[in-house]
Amino acid sequence: MSEKRKADEELDGSEAKKPQLEEEEKKEPDAADSSGDAKPLVQGPEHAGTLVVCGQFNWDMVGKRDSKQAAPAVPQGRTLWSPHIFGPLKDVRVRVATSGGCSGHNVIVTEDGKCFTFGRNVKGQLGLGDEERRDIPTLVESLKGEKIVGAACGRHHTLFLTDRGEVYSAGDNKCGQCGVGNTNPVLTATKIKHQGAPIVKVSCGAEFSAILDCRGVLFTFGLPEYGQLGHNTDGKYFITSTKLGFNNETKPKRILMYIEKQGRDNHSTPVDDVDIQDVACGVNHTVAVDSKGRVFSWGFGGYGRLGHAETKDEMVPRRIKYFDTQTRGIKKVFAGSTYSLALAENGNVFSWGMTKRTGEANMYPKPVQDLCGWDVRSIGCSVTSVMVAADESVIGWGCSPTYGELGLGETKKSSANPTEVKLMDGIHVHAIEMGMGHTLMICRDESEQDKANLADLPVYNI
């Protein structure tokens, strides 16, 4: 691996419940009601709750190596070493809270489908029409007429999913990762260039994106440098004899082939009847699972994050052989900066790649033994940190340096092994997401006991 590629990944390193399509409307994706308006086709998560956060909330500093800078003109966030109720949304029930492993910005969707963004905004990724940082969640005015049910965050771009199965984007678009058909910056949430069946899931890598429709068809767009788009090319060409360029995909393009490699010569054969059910994007790699529980990965192969027992880049989605021997299939996949995770139907969690900055990597999937017996619901992935919502607890691990995203307190800022977050004991977390150095948790707040448990947490007021 080149030193530049390694440095980029170390510096800048999802899981929301996959929106479910209503069966009746899945048969008629273009149906309209009697008033002539399009029917909602995609349902977001059924849960809603109180937003609890921890980690680095100084958006100008997260992920930066140089801590020397002038004092800010206006107040900005601080580091939360333990979980806090997010003060600006204390009395607001949240349905979706999204960030990304290489992201310093966030998307919040309230119970009634209103969309708010906050955090870093150097490329207009908040969709607010400017490039000014927001410390407090701000309503995305250009989406006021839409009901948002999902979102995804890349390094400097964002995708928004509506209940009609349409996708909007904002932010950095130099590689076409916003999918609007060109490479111009997108400062206001704009509908992507895609026609077809309703989209039910969106995911972002650093400079690329993936969208999944209700028929199990996967589309990707953006930077193809390591094959992460799955179109059998890395898009490289020479602009001059010494300058390299890439043929970026500026609008969604369907992935046409899925393969498996067999025999000593790794002969490639197509895999038939692939109906993708979930997809996750790392910085420069992609992982997906189909309706038969088969897992595919492609893109940058460094540190074994593709799970093929080698570090070769893959230009086409390749089936991970390890899962062929498992008694139950995989139902969800997750991707961090240099690693991947999978959740099986029987509750087992598998990990491959590298979740630390030094030492050996797992070149193929291995079960996370410390999570055996836990009822895992949701997993968040960051640069080298992982957070898991299971039973009435939160479990996290990640090697130093960390920025409070594990919520373990100032006396224990990192952990090489899965460790329970004591302040979250007894709190039921519906969904958990991680940014580059922070964690977002949607916590159940329905019963009096739920509210009492949450009342013990401090409140973070900006």
- Edge-to-edge strand order for the sheet containing 249-254? 199-204, 208-213, 218-222, 249-254
Per the CB < 8 A criterion, the answer to whether 195 and 175 are in contact is no
Does 326 have pLDDT greater than 80?
no
pLDDT category at 266 given cuts 50, 70, 90 is confident
pLDDT per position as a tens digit, 111-149? 999 999 999 999 999 999 999 999 999 999 999 999 999
pLDDT per position as a tens digit, 42-60? 999 999 999 999 999 999 8
Structure tokens at 165: 């199965």
Structure tokens at 215: 């028929």
Q: Select the more confidently predicted residue: 24 or 336.
A: 336
* 245-249 long-range contacts, CB within 8 A, separation 24+: 246/175, 248/175, 248/176, 248/183, 248/222, 248/223, 248/224, 249/176, 249/220, 249/221, 249/222, 249/224
Per the CB < 8 A criterion, the answer to whether 86 and 51 are in contact is yes
The Cβ-side half-sphere exposure at 227, using a 13 Å CA radius, reads: 17
Paired sense of beta strands 330-335 and 339-344, if any: antiparallel
Round the average pLDDT of the chain to a whole number and report it: 90
Q: What are φ and ψ of residue 246, in 5° steps?
A: -130, 140
Structure tokens at 418: 């899965």
Query: Prior bond to 401 cis, omega within 30?
Result: yes
Q: Select the more confidently predicted residue: 24 or 53.
A: 53
- CA torsion 21→215→319→19, rounded to 10°? -20
pLDDT per position as a tens digit, 284-305? 999 999 999 999 999 999 999 9
Distances in Å between the Cα of 193 and the Cα atoms of 210, 217, 294 are 13, 16, 29
Paired sense of beta strands 459-460 and 79-86, if any: parallel
Does 8 have pLDDT greater than 70?
no
Give residue 9's pLDDT. Answer: 46
H-only helix segments in 220-331: none
Structure tokens at 7: 């440095």
CATH match for 14-21+39-60+79-270+376-460 among 3.20.20.140, 2.60.40.10, 3.40.50.1820, 2.130.10.30: 2.130.10.30
- Edge-to-edge strand order for the sheet containing 134-139? 94-98, 105-110, 115-119, 134-139
pLDDT per position as a tens digit, 387-438? 999 999 999 999 988 999 999 999 999 999 999 999 999 999 999 999 999 9
User: CA angle, corner 425, sides to 101 and 388, nearest 5?
Assistant: 25
The β-bridge partners of 297 are 287, 318
Structure tokens at 297: 């990965």
Domain extents for the chain? 14-21+39-60+79-270+376-460
Does 217 have pLDDT greater than 50?
yes
pLDDT per position as a tens digit, 351-384? 999 988 788 899 999 999 999 999 999 999 999 9
Per the CB < 8 A criterion, the answer to whether 108 and 95 are in contact is no
Share of the chain above pLDDT 70, in %: 89
Give residue 95's pLDDT. Answer: 98
Judged by DSSP in three states, 266 sits in coil
pLDDT category at 241 given cuts 50, 70, 90 is confident
d(CA 111, CA 94): 5
H-only helix segments in 193-261: none
d(CA 250, CA 194): 11
CA-CA-CA-CA torsion sign (180, 186, 191, 197)? positive
